[in-house]
Amino acid sequence: MEEAPAFDLHAAESAAQIAAMWLVLEKLVRQQLRYAPRRERSEFLDDLLEAADTIILPEGQQVALEWIAHRYWSLIDNFAKKCKDM
């Protein structure tokens, strides 16, 4: 049975902070997008997805940091998909 890699405490703290910021930002952006015209909302979400594609991790990255970056992109992608249908 393979052992899971040790999860770096700093990476865990960063993930917790990102999660808290994400909750606040998601609520704020959803509120703003609710009143935006459909075209502006679509352009914003498309730009957001383009920006997410530019996330680059430093050399020598750890498994935990890879997971955080992957999850961050997934959150942006899921958020954009949900908001397009608002």
**Tens digits of per-residue pLDDT, 48-85?**
888 877 776 666 656 666 777 777 778 777 777 877 77
27 lies in a domain? no
Q: Would you say residue 8 lies in a domain? A: no
18 belongs to a structural domain: no
Q: Please check the confidence at residue 41 and state whether its pLDDT lies above 70.
A: yes
- pLDDT score of 5: 54
Residue 8's pLDDT is what?
67
Arithmetic mean of pLDDT over the chain: 76
Task: Judge whether 16 lies within some domain.
Answer: no
Give the pTM.
0.51
Whether 56 is in a domain gets the answer yes
Contact call for residues 68 and 8 (beta carbons, < 8 A): no
Per DSSP, helices labelled H in 1-86 are 9-34, 38-52, 63-84
Domain residue limits at 65: 37-86
* Amino acid, single-letter form, for residue 49: L
Give the total number of structural domains in the chain. Answer: 1
